[in-house]
Structure 1
């Protein structure tokens, strides 16, 4: 089956004033939609892969046919990354996590504010286009990393819990070159309940 653009769980203007409606509309339909179309086009060349889910494809990039490997990395990664991104934001976001995720963040980073500062710094300092992530390794340890382009931590054996898109298309209409302002505003739309759900399924 072909991959599909997942339904956005809120309206384009639901994240105002932090993320503007026009950016959301373009980002979702044109950018994410484009990744889905190109991912499906690549898989047309190898129908034996069509029953694999996106996680399986990205975990096994090195064993994919060479002629579509880069297309799957870029467009499959773009599809997977954005599917996570939309889900961990929401109109009633902000605040801080609770439960086991909060406990692990405090244990690992020394407090939620310190975590936010480190995560924001990682996102702001990502050179060029890419993402910043809160990830968990196979032993349950948390860390903060960034990846270039549309790479996802799952390719490197890590589990993505929270991610922010710092490609310019994610923020340039509203924030222009002020990436740090976008990152600061983004914390107001993080849906911690969904982030916690992702974490709970991983542990």
Structure 2
């Protein structure tokens, strides 16, 4: 009897030990260094110019994916202790394309969503005056943005920037933006197909014209210019 009890006890203790190993409570992982900001409006707030479905996919899949990938790449690198903007600048300068592509797209989209919040509005006096001086007017500025978008082959961005005291339009491939070039971004138009294809199919120019006319918070853009 004593031997039987000992064997049962031993078996029970062994099973308990195995269970404690198998079912050990999960230890929460440290928070990721970069976190996607919340969308600054409801998903349907940009409709009909940009549909709720496009926003849901653009923000919830594409934008989120850049943060996910970036957070897989930066641990145990100097980038883990930088701000997102610093990562964009440093990775571009060092030619770390894998890091730059994810950080650039994460940053670009943060800017992209902000320029629509509270819109549409008209340009303030300072921005309108600058547009008149540098492009012949707001309509001329918008035409320059659309024209530049046509020059971006494939994926990329078109940016309205402040270059010194003047306005300028710059086109960038893929994740590019004007920050590493020392230019101040004022407006960013995403010309990746996921930004417009569900709503406009291949009519990229129509998408850009509509967004500029009826979605952008030009008051916010003017504040960046000021």
Match of 1:73 in 2: 100
Matched, 1:10 2:36: no
Corresponding residue pairs, total: 194
Name stretches of at least 5 consecutive residues in structure 1 with no aligned partner.
none
Match of 2:215 in 1: 189
Matched, 1:180 2:196: no
TM value normalised by structure 1: 0.89
> What per-residue deviation string (whole Å, max 9, x for no partner) do you get for residues 45-69 of structure 1?
41x33221122122223554x6xx1
Deviation (angstroms), 1:162: 0.6
The 5 A counterparts of 1:66-145 are 69-90=96-117, 92-94=119-121, 96-137=122-163, 139-145=164-170
Matched, 1:160 2:185: yes
Asked if structure 1 preserves the Cα contact closer than 8 Å seen for 2:92 and 2:180, the reply is no
RMSD over aligned Cα atoms: 1.6
Asked if structure 2 preserves the Cα contact closer than 8 Å seen for 1:101 and 1:199, the reply is yes
Name stretches of at least 5 consecutive residues in structure 2 with no aligned partner.
1-31
> Helix, strand or coil: the match of 2:73?
helix
Match of 1:170 in 2: 195
Deviation (angstroms), 1:89: 0.8
Q: 1:20 to 1:110 in 2, by over 3 A?
A: same
> Helix, strand or coil: the match of 2:82?
coil
Q: Determine the C-alpha separation between the residues in 2 that align with 1:63 and 1:119.
A: 26
Matched, 1:52 2:87: no
Q: Determine the C-alpha separation between the residues in 1 that align with 2:225 and 2:64.
A: 27
Match of 1:199 in 2: 225
